[in-house]
Structure 1
Amino acid sequence: MAHQEDAKERFYRNFRMQQSNIQEQIADLPSIAPVAGERQDATEHILTNISRLTNDVRDATHFLPAYDHRVYVDAVTALRRELDETTAKLAPKSRFQFRPRPVKTAASHDAPAAATVDSRRLVNPGTTREGSPVPKGKTTNGKPPISPPLSPGGRGRDTTPRAIKIEGQTEGIITLPADHSRGSSAGQLTGLTNCVVNLASPTIEASRASPFASLTLKDITNSVMIAGHVDGPVHITGLKRCKVAVVARQVRIHDCEEVDFYLWVTSEPIVEGCKQVRFAPLPEGLGAGEEKGENKWGEVKDFLWLKQGEQSPNWSVLPEGERIKDEAWRGLLEDRDESKGVKEILGSVGLVE
């Protein structure tokens, strides 16, 4: 009997944790730009989590009373309904407007109202002004190129926030231009190998640019990334042997291995399907000293580790003696010496291929 009570309590706590995480992800959807399928990817991830929770409830029928089981089923149904309502609100609006039938007067004729196209051009923020992908990195005489400006040219004084998308780089040094105006609606880094990425400089100083609304890091290997400030969520998937530094409201980490995270985060970091990931507080030189409130960098939740009261073996605190030194961080932020090779820079932060 006691064992059954323990199982019910563990299930309840795990369910509530996953339910809360899904609700947060749904609430974040409006802040994720629809460019490059980023919002669609986030929606599919939520659907996967709801499906996993559905299976958990189904598998718990052998120890849950019928009434409790019904309550859990209804809660999962409510999550799906909440997601459907949110995605419906975010769906692109129709370009057609139907005008009501005019009120009949003595001079009017009986005729059906016609469907007319709104003459104003509908603009979907974050898509029509999206920055072009950065060309694949190439080396010349062993020297890595500085990536070209990521903001679209020819816009004059246009300061409309636009998405930053970087993909397919190898052995490249990637930076945002110092005068990058007013930030970006979203950032997306995909498919990088042996790269040094600095997106922090323009976003640390609010006078230069606003923080990213959201940021996605996906399928990146043996790279160091100073990601700057993110007002909304950071979604990190498929990283291996990397160093990541970021200030964010939420950080969700999936399927990563041998990655060190330096965080200032106002909510508990979430990991799923990860191995050998380590966490440390963000150094002050990267903007941590300007943040207010509590930094929850060490309050990590592993959604695939359900043993209450036991530390997950998938993540740990990064020992102080193994953390990147302040001078190395400063070098990454300030050094623009193109004569240095990428391997030399990565070696300075402990990344050797």
Structure 2
Amino acid sequence: MSETNQELTQQYYARTKAAISELTSQLEAIKSGSATSDSIQKVAVELAKLRKEHTDAIAFLPGYDQRQVDKQLEGLESQLESLRTAAAPKAKFAFKRKATKAAPPASTTPATASEQSTSAAAPPPTGQPSAVHTSGLSISGHTNSYLTLSSLSSPWSSASDLTISDLDNCIVNFIPDSNGNIPHDVTFTALHARNISNTVLILPIISGSALLHDLKNCVIALGSRQFRMHTSSEVDVYISIASNPIIEHCSAIRFADYPSSLRRPPAHDSITTQTKSNYLAVQDFSHIRATPSPNWSALPEEAAIRDDQWPLSNSVDVQAVLSQLLPSRG
């Protein structure tokens, strides 16, 4: 390591240690008090800045130190997710509790018409409370569907976190230019994806990090500042990224560059087209050896999806498209 890199590393550690300590104190204060959207959003903004600094520091930080800081940041992000869930509107959880408790005592006082209407309108529990975000958009619990931006939760804002969970046999098209009834200036600040199988995810370039858990036999196209995938297998990843993609406890992951046909004009992209993509500079935290990781590879050109094959219209036959594009086509 050069003297310059040593100095950069020391300066980075000093700043990061102080910032992590401050964020930890803020999270503890929120836990012991009342979690509000404003207080949580303030921490989220600071944590996003810290993530960006860490991404920028990857160029000079040793691999071991990268992982240590990354684990600390991941711990803070996990705490933030828990607080977001805790701050979710109480009415949503109240409806779910009433729905589960109302079934056994069938002989009690008959429900009024308004109570019956409210009960019927209440959504069934998803069993995935971690997907509830108060400051972002989410989509969850779909099968055999073509999903667009209009399928997302409300309300809309110009920049929002995006949560996708519990999907099977779906096509997700969130490219703004192919969603005519949605404002084209919408941007996603971060992606959280969990428990998705046999699905094609077509996403724009987002401004923040992408955290993915438990994907099986999927295709995902996206751009992000940082990319982390955990406990996933048989996934083709088409990505634009300036930092190193990270995988852990994964297998049969294939990487390719983000398709030029999905890119928006440079003025709209959060990551400019001039930025060189590090889509093949993958770090496998489950294979800390000098030998190449057996858990990922470059997607062969002949196996990659052609520009004209991306299903950007909801008039397609979902099952037919999935049988053509998914890594495991059986």
TM-score interval, smaller chain? 0.5 to 0.7
Instruction: Say whether 1:326 aligns with 2:301.
Output: no
Structure 1 residue aligned with 2:138, among 155, 159, 165?
165
Contact 2:176/2:183 (8 A) holds in 1:
no
- Structure 1 residue 222, shift from structure 2 partner: 0.5
One of 204, 217, 241 as aligned partner of 2:193: 217
State which of 294, 300, 316 in structure 2 corresponds to 1:313.
294
Alignment deviations for residues 33-54 of structure 1 (CA, whole Å, 9 cap, x no partner): x99xx99xx9xxxxxxxxxxxx
2:124 aligned partner: none
Map 1:132-143 to 2 at 5 A: none
Separation of aligned partners in 2, 1:214 and 1:259: 20
Are residues 1:174 and 2:150 paired? no
* 1:248-288 Cα deviation digits (max 9, x unpaired): 11110101100000000121100000000000001101117
- 1:199 corresponds in structure 2 to 174
State the alpha-carbon separation in 2 of the partners of residues 237 and 209 from structure 1: 28
CA distance in 1, matches of 2:256, 2:82: 39
Task: Output the CA distance in 2 between the equivalents of 1:90 and 1:343.
Answer: 34
TM-score, with structure 1 as normaliser? 0.53
**Cα pair 2:216 2:235 within 8 Å, conserved:** yes
1:184 deviates by 4.2
**Matched ranges for 1:51-200 at <5 A:** 163-177=136-150, 182-200=157-175
Identity %: 27
Q: What's the RMSD between the two structures over aligned residues?
A: 4.8
Distance 1:272 1:316 in 2: 14
Contact 1:221 1:242 in 2 (8 A): yes
Map of 2:119 onto structure 1:
none
In structure 2, the CA distance between the partners of 1:305 and 1:242, relative to structure 1 (3 Å rule), is same
Quote the Cα distance in structure 2 between the aligned partners of 1:197 and 1:305: 31
How many angstroms does 1:166 deviate by? Answer: 1.2
Residues 1:210 and 1:127: Cα distance change in structure 2 (over 3 Å):
farther
**1:336 corresponding residue in structure 2:** 314
Q: In the alignment, is the contact (CA less than 8 A) between 2:210 and 2:227 conserved in 1?
A: yes
1:228 aligns with 2:196: no
Superposed displacement of residue 181, structure 1: 5.5
Q: CA separation in 2, counterparts of 1:84 and 1:203?
A: 36
1:259 aligns with 2:243: no
Which among 286, 289, 293 is matched to residue 275 of structure 2?
Answer: 293
CA deviation digits over 1:58-89, x for unaligned, max 9? xxxxxxxxxxxxxx9xx979x86x89999999
User: Comparing both structures, which one devotes a greater share of its residues to strand?
Assistant: 2
SS in 2 for 1:212: strand
C-alpha displacement of 1:347: 2.4
Aligned partner of 2:104 in structure 1 is: none
| CA deviation map 1:171-203 (0-9, x unaligned) | 111100399965442111111100000112259
Runs of 4+ in 1 over 3 A off after TM superposition: 26-30, 82-92, 177-184, 202-207, 350-353
**What is the number of equivalent residue pairs in this alignment?**
228
After superposition, the Cα gap between the structure-2 partners of 1:127 and 1:208, relative to the gap in structure 1 and judged at 3 Å, is farther
**In the aligned structure 2, how far is the partner of 1:187 from the partner of 1:327?**
26
Aligned ranges 1:43-54 → 2 under 5 Å: none
- Structure 2 equivalent of residue 280 of structure 1: 256
Q: 1:248 to 1:288 in 2, by over 3 A?
A: farther
CA distance in 2, matches of 1:89, 1:196: 29
Deviation at 1:228, TM superposition (A): 1.4
Residues 246 and 262, structure 1, Cα contact 8 Å, conserved in 2: yes
- For 2:300 and 2:160, the matched residues in 1 are separated by 35
For 1:260 and 1:239, locate their aligned partners in 2 and report how far apart those are by CA, in whole Å. Answer: 10
Gaps of 5+ in 2: 1-8, 27-35, 45-63, 93-133, 267-271
Q: Aligned partners of 1:307 and 1:88: how far apart in 2?
A: 31
Task: Provide the C-alpha distance between the structure 2 equivalents of 1:293 and 1:83, rounded to a whole number of angstroms.
Answer: 25
